[in-house]
Chains A and B, each alone.
Chain A
Amino acid sequence: KQEVTQIPAALSVPEGENLVLNCSFTDSAIYNLQWFRQDPGKGLTSLLLIQSSQREQTSGRLNASLDKSSGRSTLYIAASQPGDSATYLCAVPTSGTYKYIFGTGTRLKVLA
């Protein structure tokens, strides 16, 4: 059974810092891994999708890496800004399916 854990649960940093958010999963037989952002009271916005054959994906100040064998992914946020404040969720499919299992998220607050 796939289980997804995200560390830390919450993070508060001053503006400009580089950040690392961690995601670990128990079943490495995955098609892909997706990182999302959720603002309070809103739906989820896709940030990055990493295919199982890839090791990383980049979009602007965001970089996500994937190590399937160790069951880990990290999301790097460079030069954080107050607008980055949100909850960040990672999700992986359950084995052999397309149903995503979500971590409980990292709640990020970037202070101006």
Chain B
Amino acid sequence: GAGVSQSPSNKVTEKGKDVELRCDPISGHTALYWYRQSLGQGLEFLIYFQGNSAPDKSGLPSDRFSAERTGGSVSTLTIQRTQQEDSAVYLCASSLGLKGGNYGYTFGSGTRLTVV
């Protein structure tokens, strides 16, 4: 697509429920990143996919968080048993990300998650 697409744009869920957030990167971008931005805070790295390599999950805050990327394209971030502290804007970005390359990020508009 022309840009990075995220859905839903807003999600309100009850504490304890599972949620799935979707990211559709720019066509041809091999790298995909998930970040989280809590109210008034900076961007927190969550997970990074590069091509067919094993993802870098070093930023996932707990085992309730997981992500997958199917066919090297669309990614889904899943949060199980949501807690109120999970409330944040979840941002996805993609890049050409070739090893040794110098390509920047393009971000989607984000999913605003509210856990009540």
Question: Hey, which chain B residues are within 8 Å of A42, CB to CB?
Answer: 109-110
Question: Hey, which chain B residues are within 8 Å of A45, CB to CB?
Answer: 107
A43/B97 contact (C-beta < 8 A), A31-B102, A102-B43 known: no
A98/B48 contact (C-beta < 8 A), A32-B102, A51-B102 known: yes
Closest chain A CB from B60 CB (angstroms): 13
A103/B107 contact (C-beta < 8 A), A31-B102, A98-B95 known: no
Question: Hey, which chain A residues are within 8 Å of B82, CB to CB?
Answer: none
The size bracket of the interface on A is 20 to 34
Name the residue among B6, B43, B109 with the largest chain A CB count within 10 angstroms. Answer: B43
Indicate which residue in A34, A41, A51, A103 contacts B105 across the interface (CB closer than 8 Å). Answer: A34
A89/B43 contact (C-beta < 8 A), A43-B108, A98-B31 known: yes
B7 interface residue (CB < 8 Å to A): no
Closest chain A CB from B65 CB (angstroms): 16
Q: Give CA–CA (A32, B64) in the complex, Å.
A: 33
Q: Give CA–CA (A97, B107) in the complex, Å.
A: 18
A101 interface residue (CB < 8 Å to B): yes
Among all A-B residue pairs, the 4 with the closest Cβ atoms: A49-B104, A43-B109, A102-B43, A44-B107
- B-to-A contact residues, CB < 8 Å: 6, 31, 33, 35, 41-43, 45, 48, 50, 56, 59, 91, 93, 95, 97, 101-110, 112
